[in-house]
């Protein structure tokens, strides 16, 4: 359950709204209040992606936001972590088949791979909007402070 080797003592996060309704953005602000106090876990919001360990994406990836998202992730130093916050960022949600939306982070990862931009970790935090407790739990997972609650199901094929 140890902390991933690529993280130091804290996680510096660059928050980017990629087309959300602001529901998840309000929950991010809630996590930063003294009640939840994300800084006790070493989470700090930064104003430049050049200083960020993780990109926190809220909302579906729209055609308009895609160039900025690519610039932000490319500007981040390695190792790069992406946190998809909310149902829209996780898979596009109800906007997944809209003409102006490419989808969620899974589609973004395909575009990043085509462009040769490597990502070292991706964390999905579903919900609409995401509860602050889920965000704190995700930070605990990233830092290795809590065990995973959900184990992947493995289906044996052919005998």
Give pLDDT tens digits along the chain (159 positions): 444 555 567 889 999 999 888 888 889 888 888 888 888 878 888 999 999 999 999 999 999 999 999 999 999 998 899 999 999 899 887 777 778 889 889 999 999 999 999 999 899 999 989 998 888 888 888 888 877 776 655 555 554
Question: Has residue 102 been placed in a domain?
Answer: yes
Predicted TM-score of the model (pTM): 0.84
Question: Has residue 34 been placed in a domain?
Answer: yes
Question: Has residue 2 been placed in a domain?
Answer: no
Question: Has residue 22 been placed in a domain?
Answer: yes
78 is in which domain, residue-wise?
A: 11-143
Strand order in the sheet with 81-85: 43-45, 11-17, 54-58, 81-85, 121-125
Question: Has residue 5 been placed in a domain?
Answer: no
Question: Has residue 76 been placed in a domain?
Answer: yes
Number of domains in the chain: 1
pLDDT number for residue 2: 47
Q: What dihedral angle (degrees, nearest 10) is formed by the CA atoms of 76, 139, 4, 110?
A: -50
Question: Has residue 124 been placed in a domain?
Answer: yes
Question: Has residue 85 been placed in a domain?
Answer: yes
CATH of the domain at 110: 3.40.50.12280
């Amino acid at each position: 359950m140890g902390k991933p080797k690529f993280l130091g003592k804290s996680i510096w996060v660059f928050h980017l709204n990629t087309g959300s309704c602001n529901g998840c953005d309000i929950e991010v602000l809630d996590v930063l209040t003294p009640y939840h106090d994300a800084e006790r876990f070493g989470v700090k919001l930064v104003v430049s992606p050049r200083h960020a360990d993780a990109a926190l994406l809220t909302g579906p990836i729209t055609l308009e936001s895609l160039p900025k998202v690519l610039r932000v992730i490319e500007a981040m130093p390695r190792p790069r972590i992406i946190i998809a916050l909310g149902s829209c960022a996780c898979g596009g949600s109800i906007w997944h088949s809209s003409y102006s939306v490419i989808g969620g982070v899974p589609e973004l990862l395909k575009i990043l791979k085509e462009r040769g931009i490597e990502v070292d970790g991706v964390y999905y935090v579903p919900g609409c909007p995401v509860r602050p407790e889920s965000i704190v739990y995700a930070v605990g997972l990233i830092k290795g402070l809590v065990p995973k609650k959900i184990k992947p199901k493995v289906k044996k094929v052919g005998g």
